[in-house]
Amino acid sequence: MLKKKGAVLPRTTPLDKGQKLTASIASNDAKGYKVYFYGAPKALPIGDPSLSPDGKIPVAASFTARGKDTKRDKDLFAKIDFSQWPAEQAVDLGHKIKGYPEGAAGSQYLSWKEGRWQLQLRSTTEDKIDNAAIARKIVNYLEKNALPAPHDNGKITIDYRPGGKEVKVGVYWQDGDIVYELETGRVPIDALTMAVSVK
pLDDT score for 45: 97
Q: Is the pTM of this model over 0.85?
A: yes
Pair 177, 68: CB distance under 8 Å: yes
Q: 80-118 burial string, b = 16+ CB within 10 Å, else e?
A: beeeebeeeeeeebeeebebbbeeeeebbbbbbbbeebb
Domain boundaries, the chain: 1-64, 68-196
Distance between CA atoms of residues 199 and 190, nearest Å: 17
Strands 59-67 and 32-40, by their bridges, are antiparallel
In sequence order, the β-bridge partners of residue 33 are 28, 65
| pLDDT per position as a tens digit, 113-172 | 999 999 999 999 999 999 999 999 999 999 999 999 888 899 999 999 999 999 999 999
Name the DSSP letter for residue 78.
Answer: P
Report the amino acid identity of residue 140: N
Residue 84 in this model has a pLDDT that exceeds 90: no
Average pLDDT over residues 60-81: 94
H helices of the chain, in order, are 70-76, 131-144, 188-196
Residue 85 in this model has a pLDDT that exceeds 90: no
Distance between CA atoms of residues 181 and 194, nearest Å: 11
pLDDT score for 171: 98
> Where do the DSSP E strands lie in the chain?
20-29, 32-40, 59-67, 91-92, 98-104, 107-114, 117-124, 154-160, 167-175, 178-184
Measured in degrees and rounded to the nearest 5, phi and psi for residue 144 equal -105, -15
Strands 117-124 and 154-160, by their bridges, are parallel
Q: Please tell me which residue, 41 or 151, carries the higher pLDDT value.
A: 41
Q: How confident is the model at residue 36 (pLDDT cuts 50, 70, 90)?
A: very high
Distance between CA atoms of residues 185 and 168, nearest Å: 5
Residue 83 in this model has a pLDDT that exceeds 90: no
pLDDT score for 149: 87
